[in-house]
C-alpha cells in the first residue's frame, strides 16, 4: 500500500508515518502543504491519501476537491483537529472517504485503513 501523507507540520507527518509503520505500511510519500500534495499526487500512483485540513497554499478540502475533480475514487482520510459537525459535513461533501480527529492512536488509524485494504 502506497500512502500520500499531507500535513504542514513535519512533526505530525512523522507521527502519522510512524503510526503507518506500526500497522505495516512503509511505502509513504510526504507533502508539506496542499499544493505540494497535489503535485506529488500527479506524479505517483497511490492507494490512499491522508491529509490535514489546515495547510498553506491549498487546504485539505482543496486537495480533496481537486483529486475528486480529476475523477479519482481513491480513499482519502482527513486527519485533523477540525471535528465539529459542520466541518465534517463539509469534508464529506468535498468527497472525503473517512475522517480521523487528532489526536489519534496507531490502532485507530489501522482500523480506518483496514476498511480500504488489508495491511
118 inside domain: no
Instruction: Give residue 117's pLDDT.
Output: 64
- Which candidate, 63, 62, 100, places its Cα nearest to that of 78? 100
88 inside domain: yes
Number of domains in the chain: 1
Please tell me the pTM assigned to this model.
0.93
45 inside domain: yes
Question: In the predicted model, what is the mean pLDDT of the chain?
Answer: 92
27 inside domain: yes
The percentage of the chain sitting over the pLDDT mark of 70, rounded to a whole number, equals: 97
8 inside domain: yes
> How big is the chain, counted in residues?
119
40 inside domain: yes
> Long-range contacts made by residues 106-115, C-beta under 8 angstroms, separation at least 24?
106/18, 106/19, 106/22, 106/23, 109/16, 109/19, 109/20, 109/23, 110/19, 110/22, 110/23, 112/77, 113/1, 113/20, 113/23, 113/25, 113/48, 113/77, 115/75
Phi/psi of residue 76, each to 5°? -130, 125
Give pLDDT tens digits for 18-53.
999 988 999 999 999 999 999 999 999 999 999 999
116 inside domain: no
95 inside domain: yes
Provide the residue range defining the domain that includes 87: 2-109
Instruction: Give residue 119's pLDDT.
Output: 41
CATH number of the domain to which 94 belongs: 3.40.50.2300
Measured CA to CA, the distance from residue 6 to residue 64 in angstroms comes to: 11
Amino acid at each position: 500500500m502506497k500512502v500520500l501523507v499531507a500535513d504542514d507540520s513535519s512533526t505530525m507527518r512523522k507521527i502519522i508515518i510512524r503510526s503507518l509503520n506500526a500497522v505495516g505500511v512503509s511505502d509513504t510519500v510526504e507533502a508539506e502543504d496542499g499544493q505540494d500534495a497535489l503535485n506529488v499526487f500527479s506524479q505517483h500512483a497511490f492507494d490512499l491519501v491522508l491529509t490535514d485540513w489546515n495547510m498553506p497554499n491549498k487546504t485539505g478540502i482543496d486537495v480533496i476537491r481537486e483529486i475528486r475533480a480529476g475523477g479519482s475514487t481513491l480513499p482519502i482520510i482527513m486527519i485533523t483537529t477540525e471535528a465539529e459537525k459542520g466541518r465534517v459535513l463539509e469534508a464529506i461533501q468535498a468527497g472525503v472517504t473517512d475522517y480521523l480527529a487528532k489526536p489519534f492512536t496507531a490502532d485507530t488509524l489501522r482500523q480506518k485503513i483496514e476498511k480500504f485494504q488489508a495491511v
